[in-house]
Structure 1
Amino acid sequence: MSVPTRSQIKIGAKVNIIQKQDQGSGELTQGKVERLLTKSPNHPHGIKVRLDSGEVGRVQSFDES
């Protein structure tokens, strides 16, 4: 499964991110995008974003709920 590109991620979108400390376990965190932090159009590990809760991580998928 490929990760979303920068153009697919919009401010306010519900996404699932993986935080740095959770990379080993693969635990995902859900939230709304506050800011896009990665400038390039794509990244092999996911576009880095800041959620409205202040958490930072790389987008793995869109939240389907």
Structure 2
Amino acid sequence: MTELSGTERRNIRQGLSVSIVLKQDQRTGKLTDGIVKDVLTKAPVHTHGIKVRLESGLVGRVKVIHT
């Protein structure tokens, strides 16, 4: 099974279980788990991860996609 990359927009869609890094956690790298509500990044690729809004309302960049 191949690891899906959180840096490619095509791998991320609503309802997906992901781990994101919040803006305030970028220094520590602390991850927050949740379900994708909205994909916010318009570009097809972003080196730091695609920005999403979780169903909880938190916004961050995808680091891990849970399959």
TM-score, normalising length: structure 1: 0.90
Unaligned runs of 5+ in 2: none
Where do residues 1-65 of structure 1 align in structure 2 (5 Å cutoff)? 3-4=5-6, 5-64=8-67
- Taking the aligned partners of 1:25 and 1:8, their CA distance within structure 2 comes to 25
Q: Deviations over 1:41-61 (max 9, x none)?
A: 010000000000000000011
RMSD: 1.7
Question: Identity of paired residues, percent?
Answer: 51
For 1:31, give the aligned amino acid.
Answer: G
Q: Deviations over 1:8-34 (max 9, x none)?
A: 001000000000000011100000000
Aligned residues: 64
Unaligned runs of 5+ in 1: none
For 1:10, give the aligned amino acid.
Answer: R
